[in-house]
Amino acid sequence: MTIQDILEFTKQNNIPTINDEAWELLKNTLLNNQPKSILEIGTGSGYSAAKILECVRTYTYLDKISFTTIEIDPDRFELSMGNLKALGLYQNAEMILDDAAAILGQYVLENRLFDLVFLDGAKGQYINYLPQILKILPIGGIMFCDNLSFHGLAKSGKDAYHKMRTIAVNLQKFQKAILKSPQLKCKIFEAGNDHVAICQKNLKNGKI
């Protein structure tokens, strides 16, 4: 199995995954900052986890970093675990089947910090995750948020069909919150038919 095989499977089975443009932004963020502790929220198929680990391998040995990924869906958790095993990357990942909100709360209590948080889980929960993520990011830590527009829906929450309206509105709230937060310096980037946010926790007084 290859990483490309996982990507093809996700396309055939309509499993959401990071698009090429967003990946290029995430890859550059990884290479420029070289984080030693990484948290992924939303494992999905394991495609992005595999891409992250392969990228990290270009700047350090995998046993020199920690990579944790959280997935709430049991079927996707099993899928991603099988994929990472097939790629020989399973031993380099701490895989957790649980609600990210609960795990984030646990990390806050443990004072466990992550150099980079890749936020790619339940889009409607981004705004609820934010307070905990801010507490587990050290000064200078990075939060990379995928699907900020939820494939365009968050641009116009009023027009989004009913089932997705709450997600779109919550993403709008999240974007406003990160841009206004005195603890973060954020930039929004277009990525294919969507947007991503790259935020850094401020060093001091809102300046990096």
Instruction: Tell me whether residue 73 is in a domain.
Output: yes
Instruction: Tell me whether residue 83 is in a domain.
Output: yes
Instruction: Tell me whether residue 34 is in a domain.
Output: yes
Q: Please tell me the predicted confidence (pLDDT) of residue 206.
A: 40
Instruction: Tell me whether residue 49 is in a domain.
Output: yes
- Which domain covers residue 32, as residue numbers? 3-201
How many structural domains comprise the chain? 1
Instruction: Tell me whether residue 189 is in a domain.
Output: yes
Q: How confident is the model at residue 188 (pLDDT cuts 50, 70, 90)?
A: very high
DSSP at 139: T
Average pLDDT for the chain: 92
On whether the CB atoms of residues 95 and 120 are closer than 8 A, the answer is no
How does pLDDT run across 97-120, given as a tens digit for each residue?
999 999 999 999 999 999 999 999
Assess whether pLDDT exceeds 90 at residue 203.
no
Assess whether pLDDT exceeds 80 at residue 155.
no
How does pLDDT run across 30-78, given as a tens digit for each residue?
999 999 999 999 999 999 999 999 999 999 999 999 999 999 999 999 9
Assess whether pLDDT exceeds 50 at residue 21.
yes
Instruction: Tell me whether residue 207 is in a domain.
Output: no
Give the residues across from 186 on adjacent strands: 199
How does pLDDT run across 83-99, given as a tens digit for each residue?
999 999 999 999 999 99
Assess whether pLDDT exceeds 70 at residue 13.
yes
What is the torsional sign of CA 47, 164, 96, 175? Answer: positive
Q: Please tell me the predicted confidence (pLDDT) of residue 208.
A: 35
Instruction: Tell me whether residue 206 is in a domain.
Output: no
Q: Please tell me the predicted confidence (pLDDT) of residue 164.
A: 76
Q: Which of 88, 94, 141, 87 is nearest to 113 (CA)?
A: 141
Instruction: Tell me whether residue 208 is in a domain.
Output: no
CATH number at residue 63: 3.40.50.150
Burial 81-115 (b: 16+ CB within 10 A, else e): bebbeebebbebbebbeeebbebbeebeeeebebb
Q: Please tell me the predicted confidence (pLDDT) of residue 168.
A: 85
On whether the CB atoms of residues 9 and 15 are closer than 8 A, the answer is yes
Whole-number percent of the chain with pLDDT over 90: 84
Q: Please tell me the predicted confidence (pLDDT) of residue 161.
A: 58
Measured between alpha carbons, how far is residue 94 from residues 38, 75, 78, 89 in Å? 10, 17, 14, 10
